[in-house]
């Protein structure tokens, strides 16, 4: 460890109503991420998923950028480490990524400025992405002689044609928020500076929704790429048959027939 | 059963040349669908697939809408049912969805107005979608506290980036025909009122095509997401080697070399 | 064999720096391809993948067209062959396709004019596609009563919504480079006549990149569709941990911190 290295990025948590906002705060490194952040974010996401008071999560970066990914200083220093020491890094990264996907609560990434390297993996592990105009999405790794990690080749291959994935990964060149919005990977592009507010507005709407049904949906979307159609139809049938007898469906169907807004809070996951 | 409930949607079948049009007719419920429709549609599709005279199928909804999906009155009543009774619903729905995909004959959905809930699953189970301007595609379920069924999370995950699928499923918000056309999920957007005619025109062109080759293609497209490349190459090799000795290829290759239009009718599947 | 048949397409190889250009040359058949070409291309690609001096490959067709696919004269003649004779065709085709994907070196297809039938499979087997304005992408097979081969139903299903794949395969109709660029399957559209030059420029940039990291990336992208997320995260972790101790990462990270251009040549795969 070198005393002159910039300080580690911190994770800030704020709560407004049922929306939890988790913010990366590393002003000197454009919110670079490393094992301490991985572990903090994983813990926050697991706790939020178990907290009935948290009904939607927003993840963003402070200082006008989402995250630059792994800290280059750390990465360079790691070439002096043992393989065992180095392995702790992807283990913690992967545990965080899997926790984001396994979390029953919807998670929206608010991407201001850009997301690069493991920062892009992190954004893609969220359920939805709101981006500011001009934000850049950069696989980056190959530019410094590294192969990608954190699931980015998996997430991109799931979402985009292989030709575009190959270009992003083999060149490391940036892609704009507008281009990814046109392709359906970015959910909304908003004026610079507005990504967090837009993500929080969307999160508040999700937080007023049917939380139990949303958690079933996240599970189904996670499972879909690996199920054949017949298997997935059975999974969906189980999901709706279970939901059908729940308090959320009772409220939702009654509200629909009574032409009023449903009140789902407290009727879903305990 | 409540005598005051709106009548069940009926399935109308009409035939013009080799094109079979199946139309949902439920004027009071925007063509809501339920087990009687599922079974009728499944039976029609299976029979059409075995009828050499039917070479293309169009599925639409009358009264300016494709289908609103499950009837909300029925869904609400179902909370009073036993689980066994309720399970009959997805079983019939799933059998219909699988029949559409297994049918060797091309099927085009003509979507006027919109497709919601299980109505969207139904449209997505067809091979192609022609939509009218302004038509809305709505996963909907979560709005009434339910999880999706009929394969919609599978079909959307296959077709679109996860971020967009998550938004459609977690919010239940509508997406326009134009947006889905830009993403390649909707094959054509036509002026309001023209979806059926356009789908029938396209179906007539398919009906003049090589029916046996089309059935092999449908099988290959169904299998592709679950095969690795090497396995799929072998499947395709079998398909073309079998086609090569058939009457359709003899006609198609001869017509190409003689610079005339091929006549495939009667040369394919018996 | 018929003496009046047009001559077989030849494969031309040219080298400029670390970029190998492979060109189909069959002026009378718009570069139709058949087992001799399959075998020649497979051999070139395997040799290039083992040659540290070749760091990027461009594949194009001469005479203003990429490739028209299987030769219709040969296909027609093949109906007189035994099944054993006919099977040699897809075996050689498939071996070539798999060699393109397995090649550790990036491969860019430069598509001028169009790519049809097995010619489209060939373009899609490359990692990236640069196309000229007006170039047409045509599955074609069904038009002559044949089912597709060479992986085209697999490649398209991986890249595009099923509705669009179904249309392309069931109708055999052409799709423009512009449309496929909008969908992310074509990486760039350039003025007519410029596809080869643009592909070579891009290849030269890739050739200056980190070759070892690129080969890991190609492997990861090939594997991604068949791995669940947890499995793929482990694959990526292995890739980056191995890269981290290599000469490419040492050079790339040092160059980044020293704000200079990295020199990766000779630091990657032997």
pLDDT tens string A140-186? 999 999 999 999 999 999 999 999 999 999 999 999 999 999 999 99
Nearest-CB residue to B72 (from A229, A243, A253)? A253
Chain B partners within 8 Å of A128 (Cβ): 163, 166-167, 170
- Selected residue with higher pLDDT from C18 and C7: C18
**Interface mutation target, options C35, C87, C162, C168, chain B, most CBs of B under 10 Å:** C162
* For range C51-65, the mean pLDDT: 98
**Is A90's CB within 8 Å of C217's CB?**
no
Q: How many CA atoms lie within 13 A of C105 on its CB side?
A: 30
pLDDT in tens, B99-158: 999 999 999 999 999 999 999 999 999 999 999 999 999 999 999 999 999 999 999 999
- Helix or strand holding residue C33 (H, E): strand C32-33
Q: What percent of chain A has pLDDT over 90?
A: 87
- Over 80: is that where the pLDDT of A86 sits? no
Beta bridge partners of B116: B138
As a whole number of Å, the end-to-end CA separation of chain B is 44
Q: Which pLDDT score, from 0 to 100, does residue C1 have?
A: 42
Average pLDDT, chain B: 94
C-alpha A226/C-alpha C133 separation (Å) is 37
The pLDDT assigned to C247 comes to 95
By Cβ distance, the residue of B160, B240, B257 closest to C90 is B240
Residue of B nearest to C101 (CA): B229
Q: How confident is the model at residue A269 (pLDDT cuts 50, 70, 90)?
A: low
Rounded average pLDDT over A179-200: 98
pTM over 0.90: yes
Residue C269: pLDDT band (50, 70, 90) is: low
Cα–Cα distances (Å) from A253 to A210, A245, B245, B268, in that order, read 12, 11, 57, 49
Ranking A219-223, B237-241, C161-165 by mean pLDDT, the lowest is B237-241
Chains that touch A (3 or more CB pairs under 8 A): B, C
Q: Which residues have C-beta within 8 Å of that of residue C152, sequence separation ≥ 6?
A: B236, C118, C120, C121, C124, C139, C169
- pLDDT of C3 higher than 60: no
Selecting from A127, A228, A249 the residue whose C-beta is nearest the C-beta of B226 gives A228
Question: Measuring CA to CA, how many Å separate C85 from each of C28, C118, C183?
Answer: 25, 18, 39
Alpha helices in C103-194 (DSSP H): 118-125, 152-159, 162-171, 177-182
Compare all CA atoms of chain A with the CA of B94 and give the residue at the minimum distance.
A233
Check residue B86 and give its pLDDT: 77
Q: Minimal Cα–Cα distance from C240 to chain A, Å? A: 5
- On average, the pLDDT of chain C sits at 94
Separation CA C91–CA C89 (nearest Å) = 5
Asked if the model's pLDDT at residue B4 lies above 70, the reply is no
B113 three-state secondary structure: coil
Tell whether the model's pLDDT for residue B59 goes beyond 70. yes
A111 pairs with which residues across the strands? A131
CB–CB contact C170 B210 (8 Å): no
Q: Kindly list the residues from chain B whose CB atom is less than 8 angstroms away from the CB atom of residue A155.
A: 162
- What is the pLDDT, as a whole number, of residue C74? 79
B148 contacts on A by Cβ (under 8 Å)? 217, 220, 236, 239-240
Closest CA of chain B from C251, distance in Å: 35
Q: Which residue of A106, A221, A242 is in closest CB contact with B157?
A: A221
Residue A1: pLDDT band with limits 50, 70, 90: very low
Residue A260 DSSP label? S
Average pLDDT, integer, range B50-54: 97
What pLDDT, on a 0 to 100 scale, did the predictor assign at position B270? 57
Rounded to a whole number of angstroms, the distance from the CA of A146 to the nearest CA of chain C is 6
List, for residues C236-268, the tens digit of each pLDDT value: 999 999 898 899 999 999 999 999 999 999 998
Residues of C in contact with A75 (CB under 8 A): 244, 249, 253
- Match 């083999």 to its residue by tokens: A170
Mean pLDDT of C169-192: 98
Domains detected in chain B: 10-207 (3.90.226.10), 211-257 (1.10.12)
Residue with more model confidence, B97 or C71: B97
- B10: phi then psi, degrees, rounded to nearest 5: -100, 155
pLDDT digits (tens, 9 = 90+) for A234-248: 999 999 998 988 999
Which pLDDT belongs to residue A267?
A: 93
CB contact under 8 A, C79 and B229: no
CA-based nearest residue in chain B for residue C94:
B233
Distance between CA atoms of residues A123 and A138, nearest Å: 11
Q: Which residue has the tokens 């990264």?
A: A93
Q: Which two tokens stand for residue C71?
A: 């030769």
Burial readout C69-81 (b: 16 or more C-beta within 10 A, e: otherwise)? bbbbbbbbebeee
CA-closest candidate to residue B239, choices B203, B215, B209: B215
Inspect the interface and report whether the beta carbons of B162 and A160 lie closer than 8 Å: no
Confidence grade of residue B1 (pLDDT, cut at 50, 70, 90): very low
In chain B, what's the furthest Cα-to-Cα distance? Answer: 67
Give the chain A residue nearest B74 (alpha carbons).
A253
pLDDT for the residue B94: 97
What are the respective helix, strand and coil percentages of chain B, to the nearest 5? 50, 15, 35
Q: Beta-carbon neighbour count of residue B127 at 10 Å?
A: 28
């Amino acid at each position: 460890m070198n005393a002159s290295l910039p300080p580690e990025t911190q994770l800030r948590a704020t709560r407004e109503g049922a929306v939890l906002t988790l913010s990366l705060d590393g002003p000197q490194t454009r919110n670079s991420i490393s094992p301490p952040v991985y572990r903090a974010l994983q813990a926050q996401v697991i706790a939020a998923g178990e907290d009935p008071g948290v009904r939607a999560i927003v993840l963003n970066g402070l200082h006008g950028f989402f995250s630059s990914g792994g800290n280059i200083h750390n990465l360079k220093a790691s070439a002096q480490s043992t393989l065992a020491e180095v392995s702790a890094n992807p283990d913690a990264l992967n545990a965080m990524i899997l926790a984001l996907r396994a979390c029953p609560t919807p998670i929206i990434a608010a991407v201001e400025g850009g997301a690069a390297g493991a920062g892009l993996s992190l954004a893609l592990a969220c359920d939805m992405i709101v981006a500011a105009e001009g934000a850049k999405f950069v696989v980056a790794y190959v530019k410094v002689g590294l192969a990608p990690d954190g699931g980015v080749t998996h997430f991109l291959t799931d979402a985009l044609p292989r030709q575009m994935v190959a270009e992003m990964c083999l060149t490391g060149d940036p892609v704009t928020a507008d281009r990814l919005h046109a392709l359906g990977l970015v959910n909304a592009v908003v004026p610079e500076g507005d990504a967090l507010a837009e993500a929080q507005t969307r999160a508040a709407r999700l937080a007023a929704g049917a939380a139990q049904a949303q958690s079933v949906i996240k599970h189904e979307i996670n499972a879909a790429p690996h199920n054949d159609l017949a298997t997935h139809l059975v999974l969906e049938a189980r999901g709706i048959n279970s939901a059908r007898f729940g308090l959320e469906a009772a409220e939702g169907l009654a509200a629909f027939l009574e032409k009023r807004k449903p009140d789902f809070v407290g009727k879903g996951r305990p």
